[in-house]
Amino acid sequence: MNKSAIVTGVAGGIGYATAAKLLDNGFSVTGMDIAPETGRELKGDFTYFSGDLSHADDRKALIDAAIAHCGRIDALVNVAGVAPKVRADLLQMTEESYDFVMNINTKGTLFLTQAAAKEMIKNDGENKGCIVNISSMSAYTSSVSRGEYCISKAGVSMITALFADRLAEYGIAVNEIRPGIIATGMTETVKQKYDNLIFNEGILPIKRWGQPDDIASAVLALCSGSLPYVTGQSIDVDGGFHIRRL
């Protein structure tokens, strides 16, 4: 029987690449995004659910759709996330912007993880499943023009630690991937800024943009069962950005 996975944020970027990578490696995938239709090009046992991660009813319906599709949930990959609609200095950040980002990136991730974990606990076997949260280098890197995003991703890091602790007794591994500067729709609007930082100012030891497939490959390593003694770990997939250099 194929392993089954839920992947959120599959309309593009990291979510799409992750769903494609898992499908190519024999997973059945239930994908979620807010778009009405997506994923037509994905090859394999894929079903799509249109919903809003910040809505409790949609989270429940996603879990139900995955169970109906595959009978069980073996992996959850929390990719879905948003940036502030307007980049604003920390002193001008609004409550509306904060709530928008936190409700999806942190609250939505938290409660979808809770719901999926309850289903995974029912699985047979010693290793009942795995959860991978896509956080960001912004979990520990200050960007004062998008403070709500940084706070939301720091929250995802704690969600990872808490669930890793709580679910270890059930053989459910919970880990986090922290992408660096990845070529997605979210970074397209600041491409010139990051081109300069990468190619002229040397912000990265590996002098190139990260690609969604770089993240998807790390997700596959965690979901494949290759690292059964790893949980609560943050993996930096960032071209070496996290290295402190003189």
The pLDDT of residue 36 is: 81
- Per the listing, tokens 């059945």 go with 28
pLDDT at residue number 190? 87
Q: What is the pLDDT of residue 109?
A: 98
Predicted confidence at residue 44, as pLDDT, reads 94
Does residue 52 lie in a domain region? yes
Confidence of residue 1 (pLDDT cuts 50, 70, 90): low
Instruction: Give whole-number Cα distances, 38 to 42, 47, 81, 127, 227, in Å.
Output: 9, 10, 17, 31, 31
Write the CA distances from 129 to 7, 116, 175, 222, integer angstroms. 14, 10, 12, 10
Q: What global pTM score does this model have?
A: 0.96
Instruction: Classify residue 72: in a domain, yes or no.
Output: yes
Burial of 66 (C-beta count, 10 Å sphere; 0-12/13-18/19+): buried
Residue 246 lies in a domain: no
**Residue 246 confidence class, pLDDT cut points 50, 70, 90:** confident
Average pLDDT, the chain: 95
Residues 201-225 pLDDT 10s: 999 999 999 999 999 999 999 999 9
Asked if the structure places residue 19 within a domain, the reply is: yes
Give the residue numbers spanning the domain of 212.
4-236
Whether 194 is catalytic is no
SS3 per-residue string spanning the chain = CCCEEEEECCCCHHHHHHHHHHHHCCCEEEEEECCCCCCCCCCCCEEEEECCCCCHHHHHHHHHHHHHHHCCCCEEEECCCCCCCCCCCHHHCCHHHHHHHHHHHHHHHHHHHHHHHHHHCCCCCCCCEEEEEECCHHHCCCCCCCHHHHHHHHHHHHHHHHHHHHHHHHCEEEEEEEECCECCHHHHCCHHHHHHHHHHCCCCCCCCCECHHHHHHHHHHHHCCCCCCCCCCEEEECCCCCCCCC
Residue 242 lies in a domain: no
Domain-located, residue 70: yes
Contacts of 67 (CB under 8 A, 6+ apart): 73, 119
Number of domains in the chain: 1
Neighbouring residues of 188: CB distance < 8 A, sequence distance ≥ 6: none
- Alpha-carbon distance of 90 to 214, in angstroms, equals 31
Say what percent of the chain tops pLDDT 90: 90
Q: Which of 14, 11, 8 is nearest to 181 (CA)?
A: 14
The active-site residue, picked from 16, 48, 98, 149, is 149
Q: Is residue 241 part of a domain?
A: no
CATH code for the domain in which residue 168 is found? 3.40.50.720
Which pLDDT does position 125 carry in this prediction?
87
Q: What integer pLDDT is reported at residue 99 of this predicted model? A: 98
The answer, yes or no, to whether residue 22 has pLDDT greater than 90, is yes
Q: Could you tell me if residue 25 is inside a domain? A: yes
35 token code pair: 């778009």
